[in-house]
């Protein structure tokens, strides 16, 4: 009674429906997985707690959990990987949970991912050291909190599409990610678009769509 799974989604948009666990009870998450498990689909559940994972594990033994990304994955069919890769870049160490949500999502959807961590603009030479690997990607995800300047700086240095993910890292006038969000929306570099604050999943998903074009 509590869910209306969009089984048709894979045909329509190319991927099965993803379970967004926040705001659902443990019972609901288990029930939805149990139902989807009867189809032969791979299953991805984001924003999942440890407790949800344990409940899912009971109904589906091959489920795996990435605790930094807070993602449950169930891979029933092996997913072939594309040759080109997605770069996931973070400004700081604290942006890693969001970046991992993006990276794990993208890998689950059949992409290779390169992680470039902690190269924020306060020490911009760290970015230049990694520029080659970033430029080699087909699409680039930049996760940054605080003032989110990294997205603009990367945007000025590459000729690939950039998906900027503002993170809620920061305090005070960061207003839980609003500062980074506004910053990224106003990027003076072209080729940058933005997803919701902390929306690693959305960034990883879109990067996958673009990487597979």
**Contacting residues toward ligand AMP, per CB under 6 A:** 17-20, 46-47, 92-94, 118, 120, 122, 188, 190, 199, 201-202
Nearer of residues 85 and 201 to ligand AMP, judged by Cβ: 201
CB of 103 to its own copies, least distance (A): 12
Kindly state the smallest distance separating residue 133's Cβ from its own copies, in Å. Answer: 13
Structure tokens at 133: 């690997």
Instruction: Select the binding partner of residue 191 from ligand AMP, its own copies, Mg ion, none (C-beta < 5 to 8 A, by kind).
Output: its own copies
Of 113 and 166, CB closest to its own copies: 166
Joined tokens for residue 144: 């940054």
Work out how close the CB of 83 gets to ligand AMP at its nearest, in angstroms, rounded to a whole number.
Answer: 27
Cite the DSSP H helix spans in the chain.
9-13, 26-37, 50-59, 96-108, 125-129, 131-135, 150-155, 178-185, 200-211
Q: Say how far apart CA 210 and CA 213 lie, in whole Å.
A: 5
- What is the x/- site pattern for Mg ion, positions 92-131, by CB under 5 A? x-------------------------x-------------
- Residues with Cβ within 8 Å of residue 63, at least 6 apart in sequence: 33, 43, 53, 56, 57, 72, 73, 74
Considering the complex, what minimum distance in angstroms separates the CB of residue 40 from Mg ion?
20
The encoded tokens of residue 128 equal: 């230049």
In 3D, which of 111, 118, 79, 76 has the Cα closest to residue 96?
118
Query: Which does residue 158 bind out of Mg ion, its own copies, ligand AMP, none, counting CB within 5 to 8 angstroms by kind?
Result: its own copies
Taking the least distance from each CB to Mg ion, the nearer of 34 and 118 is: 118
Maximum Cα–Cα distance across the chain: 55
Contacts to Mg ion by CB under 5 A: 92, 118
């Amino acid at each position: 009674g509590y869910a209306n799974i969009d089984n048709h989604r894979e045909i329509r948009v190319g991927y099965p429906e993803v379970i967004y666990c926040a705001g659902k009870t443990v019972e609901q998450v288990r029930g939805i997985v149990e139902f989807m498990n009867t189809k032969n689909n791979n299953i991805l559940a984001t924003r999942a707690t440890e407790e949800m994972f344990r409940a899912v594990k009971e109904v589906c033994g091959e489920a795996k959990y990435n605790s930094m990304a807070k993602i449950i994955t169930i891979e029933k069919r092996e997913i072939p990987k594309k040759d080109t890769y997605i770069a996931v870049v973070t400004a700081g160490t604290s942006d890693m949970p969001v970046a991992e949500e993006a990276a794990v999502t993208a890998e689950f959807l059949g992409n290779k991912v390169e992680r470039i961590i902690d190269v924020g603009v306060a020490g911009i030479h760290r970015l230049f050291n990694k520029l080659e690997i970033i430029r080699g990607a087909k699409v680039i995800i930049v996760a940054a909190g605080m003032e989110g300047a990294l997205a603009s700086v990367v945007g000025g240095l590459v000729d690939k599409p950039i998906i900027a993910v503002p993170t809620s890292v920061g305090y005070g006038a960061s207003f839980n990610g609003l500062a980074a969000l506004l910053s990224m929306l106003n990027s003076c570099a072209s080729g940058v678009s933005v997803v919701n604050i902390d929306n690693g999943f959305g960034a990883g998903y879109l990067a996958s769509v673009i990487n597979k074009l």
